[in-house]
Amino acid sequence: MKNLSALTFLMIMTTLLSGCKSKQAESNPLLETWSTPFGVPPFDKIKTEHFKPAVEAGIRLHEAQIDSIVKNTETPSFGNVIEALDRSGEVLNNAYTVFSLLNSAESNDRMQADDMEISPLVSAHNDNIYLNDRLFQKVKAVYDQREYLSLDPQQLRLTEQTYKRFVRAGALLTPAQKEQLKKINEQLSRLGVQFGNNLLADNNAFTLVIDKQEDLAGVPASIQSAASTEAVNRKMEGKWVFTLSKPSMIPFLSYSERRDLREKLYKAYLERCNRGDSTDNKQIVNEIAKLRLEKARLMGYPSYGAFALDDEMAQTPENAYALLDKLWQPSLELAKKELEEMKAIKKAETGDDSFESWDWWYYAEKVRKQKYDLNEEMLRPYLSLDNVVQGIFQLSNRLWGITFRPVSVPVYHKECIAYEVLDKDNKHLGILYFDFFPRPGKQGGAWCGAYREERYEEGKRIAPVVTIVANVSRPATSNGVALLNLDETETLFHEFGHALHSLFSQVHYAGIGGVEQDFVELPSQLMENWAFEPDMLRMYAKHYQTGDPMPDDLIEKIQRSALFNQGFTTTELLAASLSDMDIHTITEYRPIDLNAFEKEMLNGKRGLIPQIEPRYRYPYFAHIFGGGYAAGYYSYIWAEVLDKDAYEAFVESGDIFDRTTAESYRKNILERGGSEGGMELYKKFRGHEPDIKPLMIKRGLIEMPADTAARPAPLDTAARNASIRRIIGQQ
């Protein structure tokens, strides 16, 4: 009877969808069945004006589906409630997903304006679902009987996660509280959109324009050429343009001898959305912080951080702080030693050891050259974009036997490329888009998303459509080769790890496809470990002109410099993580002077030296005010504990390309999505809970054992603490 009910429900929904879509499908490709190759979005047909009507139609269709579930008179069951809810909303999800991803990668004024209406609409629609008491009572009825329903493990997990999702969305609140929550969520949605729009505007507004060759002293020819190309693109022939995108900014900060210009560029970066003008985000951040605290209080938590982390591996802000605090002092001390080295060089060169934050990259590069006889310009010729991508493909083939085939599919920008991903038995795993270069309509940074998540329909796997978006160095000329630095190379390995997590997924239900936020960075960060391994470099690092492999002496220099600048890198990461946690653990809101608060908490309370800025300051901290990492930026370092320990499994096997270990990792983590909690998945792969020592060694915070083969052995079961205590290193 359960199967018949589910089938009847799906037939009813199909009829409803067909009737509602008939009048709009002809003019709106987002409401049609995507008959493109591999079912990718019909980018060649989608126009900006299609998005809002498609989202509105998707909401109406989804409302009809929810109404059908609520009005179903049959006894609530997994099939007619939990599964039906999980399968609902496909049209809305398709339209809103395409809109959201494109609004980050290829935005325009119309999309940004529409987003001010679309995001609150979707937020309100979600509230109407999760705060629907009749629907919740049906979910609860199934949840209460879950142990007697003969559910398989994924069905049981979906039932539990669905109930939990409703509760965390406010299902247990009173009617008055639910109305209050709806208003808060709508306001937060609008503020998040405005935050992102302001940041994009500020990123695009500033350029450092140089019109004299002598002002480029110290800047390598390849960087000059890229800046010249940028100027041509902006119709400023004969000049050089540097922007706030990191592929443009960081090389200038690293090599320019003009300290005043380095200061101008870096200060513009630091002061984004912080100048008291129309794009200033400080008041928006205040309003977001206030509303998030109100929401947390409404849900019964003392702070937003407490509310957010209750559903993560860390569980509490105290546990997140424990890890950050454990790493803070050794990282800061290491950074201070790095600073002294650079000040000595500066004094020897100029007679003055005064040092500012915009000096760090410049003198760090001098330290790298002096200590390791290495600079990034020596490496770029071997790290062409094509070589790096092919290296990632080769690594994936060696570990899992998968291959990549270029395909012709619709794209949203002429620079995008796409591949079909084939499993070791040549079965279709999914489609992977790449979008590499910065441009005015694209947000900064790098990310991985999915236009279609993996799912199952009638027992058949529907493969995902995944996208990797980055902002790496453009070719110096329009028909040239893009040459990357170490950070950009590592970033592509990182995002590819996220892509593999989506491509390998074998989860039958969308509601358990995701994992905890402090677990989600494990697959991405694990991939970084291979990027600069000697055997890996020999495989992909070939000179872009001659095809010669990277010389062994250059590979050796990379290995010897592995701990270069780690104090700075770790400290700025931890500073941003602490800033995020600090503002989200406020328990009594009063207007916040963000600049003073940041300085007090980081420099005053924790002793951050003024020569290091946090990786992100509040007015442009898009991860936490425009993205999904609120009270969650700590998850990068939390997941690094996992990824460094996980990589030890490959090292311990005696072969970093060991197929058996890779298959275990795929089977126990990459394929499983959120079908179990992150720690349970991790232990099934690793056999024990993670050890913090590999991270401490990798970051240079404790010394590597004299015998590098003598890596820290895992503790036996009787000696292991609970998972949280193991991660934060408490004894």
**Could you give the residue numbers annotated as active site?**
495
- Tokens 């290495």 identify what position? 374
Residue pointed to by tokens 């002293």: 217
- Do residues 402 and 422 make contact, with C-beta atoms less than 8 angstroms apart? yes
Going by DSSP bridges, is the β-strand pair 460-462/455-457 parallel, antiparallel, or unpaired? antiparallel
| Residues ≥6 apart with Cβ < 8 Å to 216 | 210, 224, 227, 240, 256
- Give the residue carrying structure tokens 């039906």: 84
Give the span between the Cα atoms of 100 and 65, in whole angstroms.
23
**CA–CA dist 658, 649 (Å, integer):** 9
Burial (0-12, 13-18, 19+ Cβ within 10 Å), 350 = exposed
Which distant-in-sequence residues (6+ apart) come within 8 Å of 300 by Cβ?
none
Contact predicate 544/483, CB 8 Å: yes
Backbone torsion region of residue 30, taken as left when φ is above 0, otherwise alpha when ψ lies between -120 and 50, otherwise beta: alpha
Helices of type H across 299-316: 304-309
- CA dist 36 and 41 (Å) reads 7
**623/317 Cα distance (integer angstroms):** 18
- Tokens 């979910």 sit at which residue? 139
Q: Output the CA angle 117-123-126, nearest 5 degrees.
A: 140
Q: CB under 8 Å to 168, separation ≥6 — which residues?
A: 299, 311
If you search the block for the tokens 């970066």, which residue do you land on?
Answer: 269
Q: Which residues 6+ apart lie within 8 Å of 521 measured at CB?
A: 635, 636, 638, 639, 640, 643
Q: Determine how many CB atoms are found less than 10 A away from the CB of residue 561.
A: 17
Phi and psi of 174, rounded to 5°? -75, 165
How far apart, in whole angstroms, are the C-alpha atoms of residue 623 and residue 693?
28
User: What is the distance between the alpha carbons of residues 720 and 508, in angstroms, rounded to a whole number?
Assistant: 33
CB 472 within 8 A of CB 447: no
Q: Dihedrals φ, ψ of 403, to 5°?
A: -130, 165
> What's the rounded Cα separation, in Å, for the pair 198 and 196?
5
Handedness of CA 34, 37, 43, 46 (dihedral sign): negative
Whole-number Å distance between alpha carbons of 541 and 486: 12
